[in-house]
Amino acid sequence: MASPSPVRISAAGVTFCLSLALLIACGSYPEAIPCGQIPPDGCPLSRGGTCDDATCAAIYGCVDGVWHHVETCSNMPQDAGTGPDACTIVTIDRTGETTGCKPDLQNPDCPVAAAEQCASTVCQSECIDFFLCTKDGWSVVAYCNEDGEFVTMP
């Protein structure tokens, strides 16, 4: 029996090594760990949250499944005031609220905290539906209708 040529062994060896390296590389990425519900009045850095958003009291980053405070925002309304520019602050019954609902909400779905601002401006955000995390999972408690008006569920 004739021995294989050195060129074939070399090409076969290189092909084997490249295949093995590719297999190892594809399986070595760490799995992303979700953080769950962001802290109250917080906005996620990874989804474009900035202090320019009046609903953000703070910006948080998700690292290894844990929310980390990145920045405190100073633009949250302190109260509605009584002057000509006063607004009616949205208040939503949070009875039964808990934490840890999965999966995380994605725009245009937002946590109920995002709605707790001036009622006249709630529907000017990217949010359409507002959810409360309960023991049974996410529950819609309010929404913006087709006319851009904020509606609380009965």
Counted domains in the chain: 1
Residue 37 CA from chain centroid, whole number? 8
pLDDT over 60 at 48, yes or no: yes
Sign of the torsion formed by the C-alpha atoms of 59, 133, 106 and 146: negative
Q: Which of 29-33, 77-81, 127-131, 146-150 has the lowest mean pLDDT?
A: 77-81
Does the structure show a pLDDT above 90 at 138? yes
pLDDT digits (tens, 9 = 90+) for 67-119: 888 888 876 555 545 555 567 888 888 889 998 998 989 989 999 888 888 88
DSSP state of 115: G
Q: Is the pLDDT of residue 31 over 80?
A: no
Task: Note the residue count of the chain.
Answer: 154
State what percent of residues in the chain have pLDDT above 90.
Answer: 19
In the prediction, which pLDDT does 77 show? 53
Q: Which amino acid is at 42?
A: G
Q: How confident is the model at residue 23 (pLDDT cuts 50, 70, 90)?
A: low
- Indicate whether 14 pLDDT > 50: yes
Query: Is 10 among the domain residues?
Result: no
Residue 32 lies in a domain: no
Residue 20 lies in a domain: no
Q: Is residue 143 part of a domain?
A: yes
- What's the half-sphere exposure (Cβ side, CA atoms, 13 Å) at 111? 24
124 is a domain residue: yes
Domain containing 129: what range? 42-77+86-152
Is residue 8 in a domain? no
CB atoms within 10 A of CB 96: 11
Where is 8: in which H helix or E strand?
helix 6-26
Give yes or no for residue 24 having a pLDDT over 70: no
Residue 112, in any domain of the structure: yes
Give the pLDDT confidence score for residue 29 in this predicted structure. 54
